[in-house]
Structure 1
């Protein structure tokens, strides 16, 4: 029995030495190579795609013909990465907010609107030409889907046209939902 215990003890010692030697060798090996860090995209203020809609930045009276129907304040926020829209009554009481931003992963602009009554809308879009942003969304209807093209268009006189056009027949016929003019407040 003593010989067996000696052999067993020797095997345990030999195994422990192997484990200890392996651990010591592992400690002297260099750590595995880390992947190269992903290059940071340019800051929003340095990327001209984030400035495509800057023509809307400011505080505006919203007109339907000659009648003031609302106010809108558009301000660059989050280090120039978004435009925050605050929609107000004609008397200046806030009723809704929207966020416009360029999505570099999908290479398009997007807009999310939410109102104080819970109404929400999401649009995708982009620059049609300098000073003309078009956003698109769809609305489910019992009789079929409604498509809306919603545009913000810089005009030569410094105003902005806000135009909504909708179709219920896949684009065969279009009707104007609204056509508003934004005038800069003094």
Structure 2
């Protein structure tokens, strides 16, 4: 028993000591959290909400985008009309100055980054990797806030042969309860 005590407890003490500065920094009164105070962390807030997702005239799914971790993370939880799901983590990286999204579903993984363009459109570029084939393709996402409060989402994949971007998914997000 003494050996177990000597092995485990020093680790617990070290872990507790390392956690204290983080906990204290989060609890400092009257100091706004950087993810709430810095406007760069709020650039994608137009996408936060509960949404009905419409392509053409048909509802293709629902999506919930929530602000988590003190505003440092936007968590996406997608459900298609057929019951498929996917999730993404979206966050501002203060080191690179870019937004990044990591999407994971049963079909593929997307990892891309970027930011707002001059028109206020969130544009992210990177790669999609398909689980079944292992193929990797250049991928682009565009989220355009509309004057009526909707958000147009366009997902595009680059054709390796032509070099052109082709739409994979284009839909409009309508806030639930707003028609």
SS class of match (1:158): coil
Q: Deviations along 1:98-147, whole A, 9 cap, x unmatched?
A: 110000011111001112x27322111111135310111135799x9632
For the residue of structure 2 that corresponds to 1:45, the secondary structure is: helix
The answer to whether the 8 A contact 1:136-1:147 is kept is yes
CA distance in 2, matches of 1:170, 1:49: 37
Name stretches of at least 5 consecutive residues in structure 2 with no aligned partner: 1-24, 26-31
Rounded to whole Å, the distance in 1 between the matches of 2:35 and 2:43 is 12
Q: 2:176 aligns with which of 165, 181, 185?
A: 185
Residue of structure 1 equivalent to 2:148:
157
In structure 2, do the counterparts of structure 1 residues 153 and 46 end up closer, same or farther at CA, with 3 Å as the change threshold?
same
Q: Which residue of 2 aligns with 1:20?
A: none
Distance 1:60 1:109 in 2: 21
Count of aligned pairs between the two proteins? 144
Q: 2:125 aligns with which of 126, 136, 160?
A: 136
Provide the TM-score with structure 2 as the length reference.
0.70
**Larger C-alpha radius of gyration, 1 or 2?**
1
Moved more, 71-80 or 93-102: 93-102
For 2:173 and 2:155, how far apart are their aligned partners in 1? 14
* Whole-angstrom CA distance in 1 between matches of 2:139 and 2:60: 21
SS of residue in 1 equivalent to 2:46:
helix
How far does the alpha carbon of each residue in 1:37-91 deviate from its partner, in whole angstroms, 9 at most, with x for none? xxx9961100100000000010000111110011000111000001010101337
Query: Could you say what secondary structure the match of 2:96 adopts?
Result: coil
Task: Return 5+ residue gaps in structure 1 as ranges.
Answer: 1-39
TM-score normalised by the chain length of structure 1: 0.68
* Match of residue 53 from structure 1: 44
Over 3 Å counting, the alpha-carbon distance change for 1:95 and 1:166 in structure 2 is closer
Out of 115, 135, 141, which is 1:126 matched to?
115
Cα distance between partner residues in 2 of 1:128 and 1:104: 18
